[in-house]
Amino acid sequence: MAETNNRYEALDGLRGVAALAVMISHLSQEMLFRNAYEAVDLFFVLSGFVIAHSYGARLQNGMTNAEYIKRRIIRLYPMLIFSLLIGLPVFIEAGREGLTNFSSGNIISSTLYNSFLAPYIGELGGPIFPSNPPAWSLFFEMVASLSFVLIVRLQMRSIFKMILLSAAAFLTTSALTTIDLHGHGLFDFEQGWSGSRFDGGFFRVAFGFLVGVFLYNKKDSITRIATAIVPRAFANIYFLFTLVLVLFFFPMSLHGIYPMFIIFGVAPWLVAFGSTVRCTSAVDINIARFLGWISYPIYLIHYPIGQAVFMYFGKANQYAVAPMLATCAITIVCAVLLTKFVEEPIRAFLAKRFIRSSKTQESVTELGMRTDQHPV
């Protein structure tokens, strides 16, 4: 696999903007950014691209599988635990208020499962991460990360065939879900987040992650095509960020046709195009890096914080402007403080303790992130 020292700041920022859209979508009960759930598919493509960039050549040139896996666990695990610690008391209180069907036993057992990054497939068929539903994608992210030790050794022709197979399986599962649960429409692409849709999550992450790996290894061709198609005036982070927000804001599914267009066409194109965009000023670089830096914590902690705010200052499970704005502000502040003063020091300690080679340890910068940071 090819290697480059490029820093993809535009992709950092793209991830952050998408995470903000997911937060607003959840807090507004999908009245705003109705199609933001497709951000997960964008994240999976980003993950494949970024991991191929950061680890592809290193795994082929001496990095052991064990070291790679330890790095991925250290990157993903601490913030997940923090989000569960926030979500557990909120979930318990929701049970006391009669806002969930989960019993105390369900709540405790599901959180214990999730604390090991394992999905909870209970008899209720609800979210596989009940105390923090958006964390479902972390399980599939880890599956993809572990699979990369095998993917990295494949030829591009084999990866392309796997992309086609996973796309076909994803489409089929989405169609069957529509028939089984809805009885109308064509496709339901919201796979993976619940017990009843768990199997579809494997096809969903396989498609996105493999596309990302493929795009990275074909980046030279992609750059030529992107620069030929897109006018130079639009090759900037502000056009990229505005475009993704407009796409997620579209208010209809069109029986699954619109999400299919985003997942199988636009999301890969956004990553391909974003990889060609260069930040040319210090302001642009800092904006993009900051958005990337807060993307992962925002994605993981906004939901339990929002539940707490809405339970005590609004109406639970109902859209209200003031609690939504308060949650956004609290989440961003908590994301910054938690990342800078808790998560990053813990990750630095774990890396020093468990990763022997100091020359290849991941650095944690004050602002911004390395390209091997988790794309939420």
d(CA 286, CA 84): 30
The verdict on residue 3 lying in a domain is no
- Distances in whole angstroms, Cα of residue 258 to Cα of each of 136, 211, 252, 263: 23, 19, 8, 9
The verdict on residue 371 lying in a domain is no
pLDDT in tens, 194-218: 998 999 999 999 999 999 999 999 9
Q: Provide the b/e sequence for 16-53 (b: ≥16 CB within 10 Å).
A: bbbbbbbbbbbbbeeebbbbbbbbbbbbbbbbbbbbbb
* DSSP one-letter code for 363: P
The verdict on residue 369 lying in a domain is no
The verdict on residue 372 lying in a domain is no
Q: Rounded to the nearest 5°, which phi and psi values hold at 194?
A: -125, 165
- Global pTM? 0.92
- Distances in whole angstroms, Cα of residue 31 to Cα of each of 185, 207, 267, 300: 20, 28, 22, 21
Contact 195, 126 (CB under 8 A): yes
pLDDT in tens, 156-202: 999 999 999 999 999 999 999 998 877 677 899 999 999 989 999 99
CA 74 from centroid of its chain's CA atoms: 16
What is the extent of the structural domain holding 120?
Answer: 9-360
pLDDT in tens, 268-302: 999 999 999 999 899 999 999 999 999 999 999 99
Q: What is the token pair recorded at 18?
A: 């998408």
Q: Which of 347, 369, 222, 344 lies closest to 291, judged by CA?
A: 369
Q: Which of 296, 371, 306 lies closest to 16, judged by CA?
A: 296
The verdict on residue 366 lying in a domain is no
The verdict on residue 252 lying in a domain is yes
- Across the chain, mean pLDDT equals 90
Exposed (0-12), middle (13-18) or buried (19+): which is 9, by Cβ within 10 Å? buried
- Distances in whole angstroms, Cα of residue 321 to Cα of each of 300, 310, 314: 21, 10, 9
The verdict on residue 205 lying in a domain is yes
Number of structural domains the chain divides into: 1
pLDDT in tens, 112-124: 999 999 999 876 6
The verdict on residue 246 lying in a domain is yes
